[in-house]
Amino acid sequence: MAELKDKISALCPQAQFDTEGEFLLVTVDDAQWHALAKALKEQLHFDFLTAVVGVDWKESLGCVYYITNTESQEIIHVKVATTDRENPRLHSVSDVWDVANYQEREVYDFYGIVFINHPDMRRFFLRNDWVGHPLRKDYDESEELNPLRLDDEMNEDYTCKWVEDENGEVKKVEGKVFEDDEYVINVGPQHPSTHGVMRYRVSLDGEMVKKVDVVSGYIHRGIEKLCEGLAYPSTLLYPERMDYMSAHMNRHCLCLCIEKAMGIEVPYRAELIRLMMDELMRLSSHLLSYGCLTMDQGATTAFFYGFRERELIYDIFDKTCGGRMSMSYNTIGGVVADVHEDFIKDVRHACDTIEKNLKEYHKLFTGNVIAVGRMKGVGILTKEQAASYAISGPSARAAGLSCDLRKKQPYSLYNEFDFDEVVREEGDSMARYMVRMDEMVESIKILRQACDKLEACEGNEYCAKVPKLIKLPAGHWYQQVEASRGAFGVYIESDGDPKPFQKPYRMHFQAPCFNLVGIVDLTCRDNMIADLITITASIDYVIPDIDR
């Protein structure tokens, strides 16, 4: 860490450092930030902007940028703030990391921080006639300001951009989203293959897609704001309802983060059960994505086959956790109950069945000439683009970006297991599909090993002794896990409030799907409208995870 500190201070002498926490914290002024960002990426290879967290520190507003070096897996975080609460302005880094484009729009939406030189400073989640910025501590929540409006929301046809000239004066410049003579169709918000309520405004030339404008927020439920009003144990239910296909992983992540902050040691057996649940969830999720991908291409039968096996996994969840989809199984310090007596038997059975049936899936769909024709070479994402757009999970690994956190930054017990990271080079829809299919085989491998280990520690405790009132010291923490669709991160900032029911000062969820939606325009351009469906299905995002 000290070495890194020296390197960065050489780049930016004004920066202040804090080496206390888990990652190196760099605090810079807005004036130096853009130059530092550029240098960090180009000279120190910090090419992966993991998360942008907007925070309201009451006296100042600002952002915390978590940046990863994809080669050495080092993480630093940079704090940039402004004290101007009336007209908060920061410099955009969207030209350095592409992912910052949407991330900064999110921060603008929540905090009203305007990013100078950002190409498209529109709201991202909330209606464009929304009053106020909800995550600011001084937000007025009254119904009169933002009532339930049932009139149709008007399209935003203009982008706005704040440009800084040589004298340091900032001016607003408007641009057009679509030209007047473009043939624009709406895909969504209610469309069978957006997998939820996503809306794309697609400009077409015949059947060719010329541009995709993402309009998100149709299922924005304000989870981060809700978390700020609840005690820590109550916040656990929300990550499950974001990406419901990675319910266990997301909840696992939040638990890990709180445990890290409190310094709780989780029993071995508890961590093992969590890990098994994670892998079962991954299987279930990949089976669903197989089903949806095939159905979106019209092969309905394959969809039903995918769902057949998911029922086996649901049964396991049902027996142990008492629920099929939102399990609420992980808790701070372990899991809520020990596994069902049939658990190991069922898991082994499910593993055997799925392994056998995967061959059938390949026979039914993978080799099909139409499927190959529709997926091969379509929607190509390069490794550099994947890093720049901060794509993680199967979609990034299909592009050759090795980013499996289970291998790269092992958490839980993953370093005890023998499995391979599936990486492909092509970066097209086919590769994304195949990565998922191969990952299922790896998950089965992990599950089989875990079954043996779990048998060995039968009867051990499944939950640590945790204080009745969960209190975190002042500070901030960031934890990532590998969810089904990529790296899921949780940022918690605590003010160390001594009150009995302590509430998080700021809780941010870095959802993998949020970054995935950023590449829709990139990959779909100059492809056909039918490819838009295939590509979005192969990217496999879950909408509530994007919108939160």
Q: In the bound complex, what is the minimum distance in angstroms from residue 546's beta carbon to other proteins?
A: 12
- For residues 320 to 339, the per-residue mask of contacts with other proteins, x marking binding by CB under 8 A and - elsewhere, is ----xxx-------------
Contact with other proteins (CB under 8 A) among 150, 166, 499, 500: 150
The rounded distance, in Å, linking the Cα atoms of 515 and 545 is 10
Q: In the bound complex, what is the minimum distance in angstroms from residue 300's beta carbon to other proteins?
A: 6
Judge residue 333's burial from the number of C-beta atoms within 10 Å of its C-beta, 0-12 exposed, 13-18 middle, 19 or more buried: buried
Q: Does 197 bind other proteins (CB under 8 A)?
A: yes
Are the C-beta atoms of residues 280 and 525 closer than 8 Å to each other?
A: no
Give the three-class secondary structure for 382.
coil
Residue type, 441: V
Q: Are strands 330-331 and 334-335 parallel, antiparallel or unpaired?
A: antiparallel
Near other proteins in 382-421, by CB under 8 A: none
**Could you identify the residue written with the tokens 């969820």?**
509
The rounded distance, in Å, linking the Cα atoms of 532 and 194 is 10
Q: Which is nearer to other proteins, 43 or 128 (CB)?
A: 128
Are the C-beta atoms of residues 442 and 420 closer than 8 Å to each other?
A: yes
Contact with other proteins (CB under 8 A) among 58, 149, 171, 172: 149
Q: Does 238 bind other proteins (CB under 8 A)?
A: yes
Q: Are strands 199-205 and 208-215 parallel, antiparallel or unpaired?
A: antiparallel
Q: In the bound complex, what is the minimum distance in angstroms from residue 320's beta carbon to other proteins?
A: 16
Q: Which is nearer to other proteins, 328 or 382 (CB)?
A: 328
Q: In the bound complex, what is the minimum distance in angstroms from residue 216's beta carbon to other proteins?
A: 9
Helix (H), strand (E) at residue 447:
helix 429-456
**Could you identify the residue written with the tokens 């937000």?**
139
The rounded distance, in Å, linking the Cα atoms of 321 and 329 is 6
Q: Which is nearer to other proteins, 32 or 193 (CB)?
A: 193
Nearest to 380 by CA among 226, 225, 162, 527: 527
Q: Which is nearer to other proteins, 225 or 408 (CB)?
A: 225
Near other proteins in 274-313, by CB under 8 A: 288, 291, 294-301, 303-305, 307-308, 310-311
Q: Does 226 bind other proteins (CB under 8 A)?
A: yes
Helix (H), strand (E) at residue 75:
strand 75-82
Q: In the bound complex, what is the minimum distance in angstroms from residue 375's beta carbon to other proteins?
A: 9
Q: In the bound complex, what is the minimum distance in angstroms from residue 152's beta carbon to other proteins?
A: 5
Q: Which is nearer to other proteins, 27 or 326 (CB)?
A: 326
Residues 6+ apart with CB under 8 A from 201: 155, 177, 178, 184, 185, 186, 187, 212, 213, 215
Q: Which is nearer to other proteins, 91 or 136 (CB)?
A: 136
* DSSP 8-state secondary structure symbol assigned to residue 253: H
- For residues 98 to 127, the per-residue mask of contacts with other proteins, x marking binding by CB under 8 A and - elsewhere, is ---------------------------xxx
Are the C-beta atoms of residues 53 and 506 closer than 8 Å to each other?
A: yes
Near other proteins in 155-194, by CB under 8 A: 183, 185-186, 189-193
Q: Which is nearer to other proteins, 504 or 544 (CB)?
A: 544
Q: Which is nearer to other proteins, 466 or 529 (CB)?
A: 529
Near other proteins in 10-49, by CB under 8 A: none
